[in-house]
Amino acid sequence: MLQRSDTLADVFEVVKLAASQHVGRTRGGLMLALADLGNVPNGFFGAFHVVASNVIVMNKVPLARIRDTQPQLYKPYAFHVLLHEYLHTLGYVDEVRCRTLAYEVSRSLFGEDHLVTQIAADVSQFFPNLVYPDAAWQPAELTLDLVPGFDRGNAGYIA
């Protein structure tokens, strides 16, 4: 299913199905915003979800660099980040528990050897070129670009 995904919205449909099957919970009405989230020393933020909101904000800079330099990792990376944040939206707010659960869902759906599962186990081994040692940078302002048609499962009832 993931290999047939063409857009982030397509990937998210796979995420929702996987989470529903594994944890038995779903949530609708979510939006995805892309933004430049900068970086932190020895890492970067892939995305975040503000508790009690309906928005997942995904860092567009690493997403674009992965798409351009390692296209075979784009969908597995997007799946991992969206799954992790979707689990937060389902109420799994503890970061360690959420990481563990994202790994378990990935392993259950794709198997131990799939790129999604390997990224869930240790994302840092795949993207060392996106990590800047001892450097931190944040944009002056946060500009959110909403992804149209992101959460398709909830569009049918809107007139």
The predicted-structure confidence for 88-107, as pLDDT tens digits, reads as follows 999 999 999 999 999 999 99
The distance in angstroms from the start CA to the end CA of the chain is 30
Kindly indicate the confidence band of residue 159, based on its pLDDT and cuts at 50, 70 and 90. very low
Per-residue b or e along 89-104, where b marks 16 or more CB atoms closer than 10 Å to that residue's CB: bbebeeeeebbebbbe
* Domain contains 156: no
Cα separation, 43 vs 134, in Å, equals 9
* Domain contains 157: no
Q: Could you tell me the pTM of the whole model?
A: 0.87
Over 60: is that where the pLDDT of 155 sits?
no
* Domain contains 92: yes
* Domain contains 78: yes
* Domain contains 158: no
* Domain contains 18: yes
* Averaged pLDDT of the chain: 87
Averaged pLDDT for residues 24-40? 88
Enclosing domain of residue 146: 2-151
